[in-house]
């Protein structure tokens, strides 16, 4: 009987050790990351308006393009300007709740009721401008379910919403020393965006 009890104790100790080792290994693979389900994360409050400038690259299937951008966002209104690497304006997007339009470099103008319909006409796929106004700030779109992963410092590192996965690669202070996302990737089936924000105002 004592031998049997000793064997049971050893087996129990080994089982506990394996559980502890597995838990440690999982934690070591994702240091400082806290996962949140919809609505659980206490993320930063998005600014009602901002001016951001930077660079982006986009891939849709076999198609790809790169451009610099300037984005003025205010309550209910957006203006986005895309330019080529040589500084030539490629397209201007502007709009509000009453309608949106896209003006191309060749002078052609496309109009639609919302950003999804407009960008599908102009790009062949839907650019989620409404959601992007929040995601570029490191916060989820208001009123929609989401999941998020935050680091030990509380800043979001992964955000998932509306079928998009946004991974935040770096943060940098803006002119008011507020930490803002500076590099991120946004993925959707068959679409990938890479954003670098050079300046925030």
Segments of the chain assigned E as strands: 34-36, 50-60, 63-74, 77-83, 89-96, 99-104, 109-112, 147-150, 156-161, 164-173, 179-188, 191-200
In order along its 201 residues, the chain shows pLDDT tens digits of 444 455 544 343 343 333 333 222 223 333 455 565 544 455 778 899 999 999 999 998 888 889 999 999 998 899 999 999 888 999 999 999 899 999 988 899 999 999 889 988 877 788 889 899 999 999 999 888 999 999 888 899 999 999 999 999 999 988 888 889 999 999 999 899 999 999 998
Query: Looking at the domain assignment, is residue 45 inside a domain?
Result: no
Query: Looking at the domain assignment, is residue 194 inside a domain?
Result: yes
Sheet of 77-83: strands edge to edge? 34-36, 147-150, 156-161, 164-173, 179-188, 191-200, 50-60, 63-74, 77-83, 89-96, 99-104, 109-112
CA distance 62 to 186: 17
Q: Which residue range(s) make up the domain with 124?
A: 50-200
Decide: 110 and 102 in contact? Cβ < 8 Å.
yes
* Whether residue 55 sits in one domain with residue 131: yes
* Whether residue 60 sits in one domain with residue 130: yes
Query: Looking at the domain assignment, is residue 38 inside a domain?
Result: no
Query: Looking at the domain assignment, is residue 90 inside a domain?
Result: yes
* Whether residue 95 sits in one domain with residue 56: yes
Number of domains forming the structure of the chain: 2
**For the chain, how many residues are written?**
201
CATH number at residue 93: 2.50.20.10
Query: Looking at the domain assignment, is residue 23 inside a domain?
Result: yes
* Whether residue 57 sits in one domain with residue 16: no
* Whether residue 181 sits in one domain with residue 114: yes
* Whether residue 188 sits in one domain with residue 102: yes
Q: Which residues contact 114 (CB under 8 A, 6 or more apart)?
A: 100
Give the number of other Cβ atoms within 10 Å of residue 157's Cβ. 19
pTM (2 d.p.): 0.77
Query: Looking at the domain assignment, is residue 44 inside a domain?
Result: no
Query: Looking at the domain assignment, is residue 26 inside a domain?
Result: yes
CA distance 166 to 39: 16
* Whether residue 112 sits in one domain with residue 21: no
State CA 21 to chain mean position distance: 33
């Amino acid at each position: 009987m004592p031998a049997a009890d000793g064997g049971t104790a050893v087996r129990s100790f080994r089982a506990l050790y394996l559980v502890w080792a597995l838990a440690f290994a999982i934690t070591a693979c994702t240091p400082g990351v806290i996962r949140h389900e919809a609505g659980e994360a206490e993320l930063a409050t998005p600014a009602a308006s901002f001016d951001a400038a930077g660079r982006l690259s986009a891939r849709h299937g076999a198609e790809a393009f790169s451009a610099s951008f300037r984005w003025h966002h205010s309550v209910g209104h957006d203006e986005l300007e895309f330019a080529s690497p040589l500084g030539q304006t490629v397209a201007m997007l502007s709009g509000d709740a009453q309608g949106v339009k896209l003006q191309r470099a060749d002078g052609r103008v496309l109009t639609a009721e919302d950003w999804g319909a407009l960008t599908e006409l102009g790009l062949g796929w839907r650019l989620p401008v409404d959601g992007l106004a929040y995601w570029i700030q490191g916060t989820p779109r208001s009123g929609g379910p989401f999941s998020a992963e935050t680091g030990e410092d509380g800043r979001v590192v992964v955000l998932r919403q509306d079928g998009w996965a946004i991974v935040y690669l770096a943060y940098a202070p803006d002119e008011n020393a507020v930490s803002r996302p500076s590099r991120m990737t946004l993925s959707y089936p068959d679409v990938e965006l890479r954003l670098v924000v050079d300046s925030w105002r």
